[in-house]
Structure 1
Amino acid sequence: MASSSGSVALAEKLQGLNGLFAIHKKKGPTSADVLNLLKANLLKEAGIKQHPMKRKKQVLKLGHGGTLDSAASGVLVVGIGKGTKMLGGMLSCSKIYTTIGEFGKATDTFDALGTVTDVQSYDHITKDDLETTLKKFTGNIMQTPPIYSALKQNGQRLSCLVKKGEAVEAKPARPVVVFGLSVQDYNPPLFTLNVECGSGFYVRSLVNDLGKELSSCAHVKELIRTKQGPFTLDEHALQEEKWTISEIVKAVESCVQLVPSEAALKKLKINYQDDTEQVKEAA
């Protein structure tokens, strides 16, 4: 067991951290669940007790730079301390995903967790057909977000409202940007895509729309975010066994080189006032 002085030192080190780092989110939990688990682990290691009801007086401030679906895995960028004020840039930066889609079945959530809503033939779809159709979804396009999403209606997430059986209005199509789309593998009914896109883009909607465009239907079976901004899954994302204070200290220090130094210094000033509302804080 750590000594009293050792616990104090750990607590001070943790509470003095300001910056960004990346973790590997596993498939299953929500992004908020993962952030809460990370926070609980760090507070426990530092010997800090946090009253769950005192949200406004959090002793450790954490936030993430963009939600990953519970069915998805991969890079989740985390801001700690004043670093949470830098997360707006992570929300707007480009992201890269690898997704496995399945032709022939559509679901209400556009992924494998949902209920099958349609079954159609896919035998007529060739790899050339798929590659040709991808061109229609590249560049500046309009995309309709899925009903099951983190977007809100009257202050509540659409996905939560749908699960409660409440009426939900579909959000209108909105402009998004796709920098690149390519077929990595094609073994019908399965196909693997590499997707590089901007903010606000839904891979689930892309796969659903592809199915319709090819006179069939489709849903996402697997989704992995391999890069967000400068953070990559292989190089920067900490696995759960490394969610320790010492590992995060090293990760925060090393990531300073990934973020533009001048911008980072400005964002980390004590008197920095731009408190973006887009950051998702842990409960």
Structure 2
Amino acid sequence: MRVALAASVRTLPRGDGLAYEPKFDGHRLVVVRTAEDVVLQARSGRVVTAAFPDLAAAARQLPAETVLDGEVVVWHAGRTDFALVQRRAAAATAARAAVLAQSLPASYAAFDVLELAGLDLRGRPYERRRALLVDLLLPLGPPLQPVPMTTDPELAATWYETLPASGIEGLVVKRLDQTYPAGRRGWQKLRHTQVRDAAVVGYTGTPRRPLALVLVLPVGDETPLVSSPLTAALRADVVAAVATREGHARAPAGATVTAIGIGEVPYRPLDPPLTAEVRHPSTARHPPPEVLRLRTEL
């Protein structure tokens, strides 16, 4: 099942015929209720039914031949916790998954219905699909729930400002008349971002062609993060700046850092660090921090 995707925007879209939904900080999950049982599919296409037996059990209440699109989340201390979703998804055995289902129960924030009782709805307008989704899930109740939705941009703006305390990443914006854009970035997403200074403790690439910066943000657990790729202008600034840092040429063998979506990559440490102004999501996970400029005056 190819899921719909969203393109990032930096301001709240406004206009007639738009719908706004909170963007939950969880794992994308397609729920497929077949005639015989339930299949849970991750965005990658991997089947993860065994990791979420509580959601699979709840989904058996759905009509046969029904498909939902949404996000699996785990609530903890009044907010969604992405790390706990990862723990649930990584359950290696049925016994371990059952224990985690008791201690860390999952919720499913559904935002679309793609098939209902054998009827393919992907060609129907979002407004119609949304009405069918609400009618389907409200009688069932948790852990299967439709995400909140509004067509009021002022209420959406209030959500955007107030919901991050609950672990909400931002907003997803859809057209009411839109069919389901399978495999395309047909929706829009506005993520919470913050602009602040970060310590540049290293860089990937070479001294003459740095590719990205290794950053420590002034929030979280000080785990180094790899920035998004540098622009040509920023690469030139970094080349000039690292030339003054004696430690950059003495990278310890095997120094690596985890890059989002790539894995472990080698990097060259900087001693002393540089400072950069970066824009990054409030959740400190994807997408990577964006470097805006070096703060060479600091």
Q: Which TM-score band (shorter chain)? A: under 0.3
Higher strand share: 2
The TM-score, its normalising length taken from structure 1, stands at: 0.24
The TM-score, its normalising length taken from structure 2, stands at: 0.23
Q: Which structure is larger by alpha-carbon Rg, 1 or 2?
A: 2
Higher helix share: 1
